[in-house]
Amino acid sequence: MNLTVIDHPLARHYLSVLRNKQTPPEAFRLAAKGLTYTLVLEATKRLPLTQTTIETPLETTVGYEVGNVVAVAVLRAGLGMLDAVLETIPHVKVGFAGVQRDEETATPQEYYAKLPDLSGATVLILEPMLATGGSLSWAVSKVKASGATDITALCVVTAPEGVKRMYEEHPDVHIVAAAHDRELNDRYYIVPGLGDMGDRLFGTL
Report the catalytic residues: 101, 105, 196, 199
CA distances in angstroms from 14 to 30, 148, 169, listed in the order given: 9, 31, 30
In terms of C-beta distances under 8 Å and separation of at least 24 residues, what long-range contacts does 90-96 make, across chains too?
Answer: 90/65, 90/66, 91/66, 93/68, 93/69, 93/117, 93/121, 94/70, 95/70, 95/71, 95/143, 96/72
